[in-house]
Structure 1
């Protein structure tokens, strides 16, 4: 392929990047600017124009899928297979090095790789050998500690407890873990990269060999590199070999899992490179890009760029102010139906949210309205492990004969009940055709087990009985909350998985309480009457049984913002832009984390190709309580001229971030008692609600499907209700 043919399809900055002289270059590639195209053409340029041997090229990506795509596109571009190219992920390339040089790396030739579950099992065996209680030393938390230290390049021998007893114990476990892995000839994922770095660092001959070989190093998604990956790249590059890095500091959103935005910010200092900016976007409309630019301009220490497009301004960004999360979900469902009615496909639609707990209301609404959907990169709400844990406690409390629930929670969180004990109970229950609960209670009286097992089982039985006593007579949401609290599930997940992962599970547990709070039991005269908890558990089982859309079915895509990176959709809904939710409450008061939240919002905005709809709820159920939240500060950072408010607020309220959200609005006087409202109800009218009981209408606003009233209930207090689904009865 000729030089001209390689460059013909590229714009000016892309050509500059592809044809740059052999020196280190940072290609600052904005969202939708064709970064993969540039990487592929750069490799083709080196091979075809510069005459570089494929053996001297090392190309690093972050996923196996991206590596396979890159190899395929290089093959298609050049029209022939290119052998000798090293294209792969950091871990894949490190594994290749260790297989080639297993002896120098002090590994057996047949060494094996531990997956995450293998790693947990090994740690459990080590804890047992050290006589340490898993309740106090959760294996997954220890695995996270070990992996994080390795990602920092630190062995157990490098760590100093500084007199901290807990830290000293973690270091001791780490040391035992290293010794056991070495004896067994196994490596975990973090070890692959660390050991390959040590291999090259400590072997001058090998280091010189690979520096001579890999004269051209290319790296994709450079903003996502962690400390160890950056050190690995610098070691292979040395002082002579150029690094062609492609990335976007404005899309650095994985700081919580070790990515260092400083790596891309310091690239020009460490590699003495030029910066080429790719700012022409081939994905989104002008209005969407202007909104993204305005938002991200509020971050400091940016390398700086402005996205633009030649495809026109497009439609304004719709902003919907929902009454609550159910109103938000129903509005979005209505917009999706309109989209489909105009001949479009559901798979062209994405709903993006900050916390995966937000999916629950959308799932319920879509099931009700028969809108097929798929939760991308995750499980549906009632299929998530922490939700299943909580439901198992609730089921066992209501039905002690539920063996499946018994087995799930008898040692979860860990309470010292081993698998051998559970297996004995299981076999005995099967033989005697009784429940495992009955067998356990009898075994405690007869003293069949060891003193340790007996104590642990007795504690579990007491806990379930205590739960049954304490929730008696409580409202449904309080029952669910009490069970979660007594089971210490929140504490368990926060200690087991630090940071975002643990908090996400706690958010889901809190959402389960909210689900119970908003659950309305449907009366059926032809079915036996059920207590509220049993009815809710049946509802949860049916919801879980609905299932996602089948493979190949035209489904709406639902996902967290983190999962959405790298994807694009014609229509995007960005839901839940409220203070405390997005930006997340864990990040709002820390400048660096707030900037990452803003980058995450930037990523969400730039997923949209044609239409972007942003929504927030004036009130939202959280932990079974109604929370009134201010609109996200990110909304104030979007230019007024780009925004179309779908439902402007009728009444003004002041917040520290948005005096009237977008622009000054007039305050509507309250209607007088006895006056007829647009909703058809009268102020002062007595009404009854299936859940909240009797009350009096004290305010009203809106009309049609958006009409709502404020009711002062005798027992539940004041609540705003959307008439379309409140089912109020006039008294």
Structure 2
């Protein structure tokens, strides 16, 4: 990134040309959302390129980001569409134009959105049969591997299916066949299952092969603004580049030092290297949110002479405190010293959930009940997911998981899902501290056609030793609204008091991001984002 060409903006409400491609680098607390809102309002006021059929597309990375921008633009009417990149592409590219891809075996009558896919026992069995990989006995390991398959851009700038890390494709000390990757996808597609990643793949193919579709998208959206651009994957960048070839004005906002989604294909260099002919480069340095004490730590970590933050209001506060010792003792100390507006963060979901559910030993990240007990295990797995989403009032997701749980029950409707959710949530305190066997036999058995009771044998012993709280603790809630979440999910949130917990046992390594900061390391950038 050529910093010498950048124009520094002293505050987030300064205006830039509305019909010129731009890239804005904005550090933590700089007011990038304020800048984005201000820029959108200027487009709405001064642009001559908008109409009832021509709108602004505003893309951000998470649903939390969507809600934040939407709440601040609630008076703008129908002139702007705010969504995640997956939702935007599904609505405007995949859903209306998937039929153009003649070589894709996806049943169009089963096109019902996109979701995270956890393959069933039947799906894995079909995969092993079609690919002659009968040596695979570990269904849980196979499921974990196949779930990590991603569509990537290779060195020839072609899209191919692969793993972001080679070891992700390893099961039972052997690698699954490379020529079997696509077979797994085809089996999912035949069943009407489309992953979030598939949305990107299909969109890229459609836009690459069909010029007319590109023209339609450009005509509908003359402005394409992308927030958190450092978190985009190469295939998302390729899609943006395809759209930006003509007619459309592209604006991207981000910060390479806040790139923390490499596990989803994002690359810290993406923002720095992205360029479109005629694109202007701006920097927003000032930090309006943080105190001088926190900004001093941020500048120390970043250690970049081209990017030094200041507090325009000279906000003063307490110095950050480092607590060394037991996690739960630190948590108690934290709660004793803060009264409100707080949040507990960690790099890993299982670490924050240990505190949230008061589990003193290690939380296993996944359980084999999905394959060990097949249909019943699947039902339990999805019911627990539904309940944890329901506790956060994420009713749409809760009902979706409840319907997955009872998919074998004929005519199980959304109303049934809601009634069952309400019944179980009303009794949450009765089973939260019990084991899964008691939970199932008391609250699941004999409701909605469930007739198989857990009685004896190895599976009975397994469920007796599995606490409901431990299964609840592995639920990884997207756009988590609780006060215990991962750093990734808290991105964009603001709290006056934050307890950040490292998942490492080596104290020296825990403090490495302060003692020897290196923004080329994602594990250091994660703490910078906080």
Q: Normalising to structure 2: TM-score of the pair?
A: 0.65
Closer/same/farther in 2, CA of residues 116 and 316 from structure 1, 3 Å limit: closer
Equivalent residue, structure 2, for 1:613: none
| SS of equivalent residue, structure 2 residue 149 | helix
Whether 2:275 is the aligned partner of 1:275: answer no
Structure 1: distance between partners of 2:67 and 2:204? 24
Aligned length: 422
Equivalent residue, structure 2, for 1:24: 21
Question: Superposition pairs for residues 281-430 of structure 1, below 5 Å?
Answer: 281-297=287-303, 304-320=306-322, 322=324, 324-325=325-326, 329-330=328-329, 332-340=331-339, 345=340, 348-356=341-349, 358-359=351-352, 363=355, 375=356, 381=359, 386=364
Structure 2: distance between partners of 1:433 and 1:220? 49
Whether 2:12 is the aligned partner of 1:14: answer yes
Whether 2:43 is the aligned partner of 1:73: answer no
Q: How far off its partner does 1:232 sit?
A: 0.6
Structure 2: distance between partners of 1:176 and 1:103? 20
| SS of equivalent residue, structure 2 residue 308 | coil
Q: Normalising to structure 1: TM-score of the pair?
A: 0.49
Equivalent residue, structure 2, for 1:706: none
Q: How far off its partner does 1:180 sit?
A: 3.2
Closer/same/farther in 2, CA of residues 556 and 101 from structure 1, 3 Å limit: closer
Q: How far off its partner does 1:190 sit?
A: 1.2
| SS of equivalent residue, structure 2 residue 24 | strand
Determine which structure has more spread, i.e. the larger CA radius of gyration: 1
With 185-194 and 91-100 compared, the bigger mean Cα shift is at 185-194
Whether the 8 Å CA contact 2:230–2:259 is kept in 1: the answer is yes
Whether the 8 Å CA contact 2:24–2:284 is kept in 1: the answer is yes
Q: How far off its partner does 1:284 sit?
A: 1.4
Whether the 8 Å CA contact 2:343–2:484 is kept in 1: the answer is yes
Q: How far off its partner does 1:188 sit?
A: 2.3
Whether 2:527 is the aligned partner of 1:601: answer yes
Alignment equivalent of 2:486, drawn from 553, 560, 574 = 560
Structure 1: distance between partners of 2:360 and 2:276? 48
Closer/same/farther in 2, CA of residues 218 and 122 from structure 1, 3 Å limit: farther
Runs (5+) with no aligned partner, structure 1: 1-10, 364-374, 393-402, 410-425, 441-463, 465-533, 548-554, 605-731
Whether the 8 Å CA contact 1:217–1:244 is kept in 2: the answer is yes
Question: Superposition pairs for residues 300-699 of structure 1, below 5 Å?
Answer: 304-320=306-322, 322=324, 324-325=325-326, 329-330=328-329, 332-340=331-339, 345=340, 348-356=341-349, 358-359=351-352, 363=355, 375=356, 381=359, 386=364, 435-437=456-458, 557-576=483-502, 580=506, 583=509, 595-604=521-530
Q: How far off its partner does 1:92 sit?
A: 0.8
Closer/same/farther in 2, CA of residues 543 and 194 from structure 1, 3 Å limit: closer
Equivalent residue, structure 2, for 1:482: none
Structure 2: distance between partners of 1:433 and 1:194? 43
Alignment equivalent of 1:51, drawn from 48, 53, 70 = 48
Equivalent residue, structure 2, for 1:192: 199
Closer/same/farther in 2, CA of residues 581 and 273 from structure 1, 3 Å limit: farther
Q: How far off its partner does 1:102 sit?
A: 3.4
Whether the 8 Å CA contact 1:26–1:275 is kept in 2: the answer is yes
Structure 2: distance between partners of 1:380 and 1:433? 27
Equivalent residue, structure 1, for 2:143: 140
Q: How far off its partner does 1:230 sit?
A: 0.5
Closer/same/farther in 2, CA of residues 189 and 122 from structure 1, 3 Å limit: farther
Runs (5+) with no aligned partner, structure 2: 1-8, 379-440, 446-450, 474-480
Alignment equivalent of 1:236, drawn from 234, 243, 258 = 243
Q: How far off its partner does 1:350 sit?
A: 2.5
Whether the 8 Å CA contact 2:57–2:224 is kept in 1: the answer is yes
State the superposition RMSD in angstroms: 4.8
Whether 2:42 is the aligned partner of 1:42: answer no
Structure 2: distance between partners of 1:297 and 1:310? 20
| SS of equivalent residue, structure 1 residue 14 | coil
Closer/same/farther in 2, CA of residues 153 and 568 from structure 1, 3 Å limit: farther
Whether the 8 Å CA contact 1:30–1:278 is kept in 2: the answer is yes
Whether the 8 Å CA contact 2:12–2:35 is kept in 1: the answer is yes
Whether 2:212 is the aligned partner of 1:201: answer no
Structure 1: distance between partners of 2:363 and 2:136? 19
Equivalent residue, structure 2, for 1:221: 228
Q: How far off its partner does 1:121 sit?
A: 5.3
Q: How far off its partner does 1:291 sit?
A: 1.3
| SS of equivalent residue, structure 1 residue 23 | coil
| SS of equivalent residue, structure 2 residue 39 | helix
Equivalent residue, structure 2, for 1:88: 83
Equivalent residue, structure 1, for 2:429: none
With 564-573 and 214-223 compared, the bigger mean Cα shift is at 564-573
Q: How far off its partner does 1:82 sit?
A: 1.8
Deviations 1:332-360 (A, max 9, x none): 523532433xxxx2xx1223334456558
Closer/same/farther in 2, CA of residues 99 and 256 from structure 1, 3 Å limit: closer
Structure 1: distance between partners of 2:526 and 2:186? 40
Structure 2: distance between partners of 1:235 and 1:43? 22
Whether the 8 Å CA contact 2:50–2:222 is kept in 1: the answer is no
Q: How far off its partner does 1:573 sit?
A: 2.8
| SS of equivalent residue, structure 1 residue 15 | coil
Alignment equivalent of 1:101, drawn from 97, 106, 111 = 97
Whether the 8 Å CA contact 2:18–2:42 is kept in 1: the answer is no
| SS of equivalent residue, structure 1 residue 92 | helix
Which structure carries more relative contact order (alpha carbon 8 Å, separation 6+)? 2
Closer/same/farther in 2, CA of residues 325 and 592 from structure 1, 3 Å limit: same
Whether 2:127 is the aligned partner of 1:127: answer yes
Structure 1: distance between partners of 2:193 and 2:84? 20
Structure 1: distance between partners of 2:193 and 2:264? 24
Deviations 1:674-713 (A, max 9, x none): xxxxxxxxxxxxxxxxxxxxxxxxxxxxxxxxxxxxxxxx
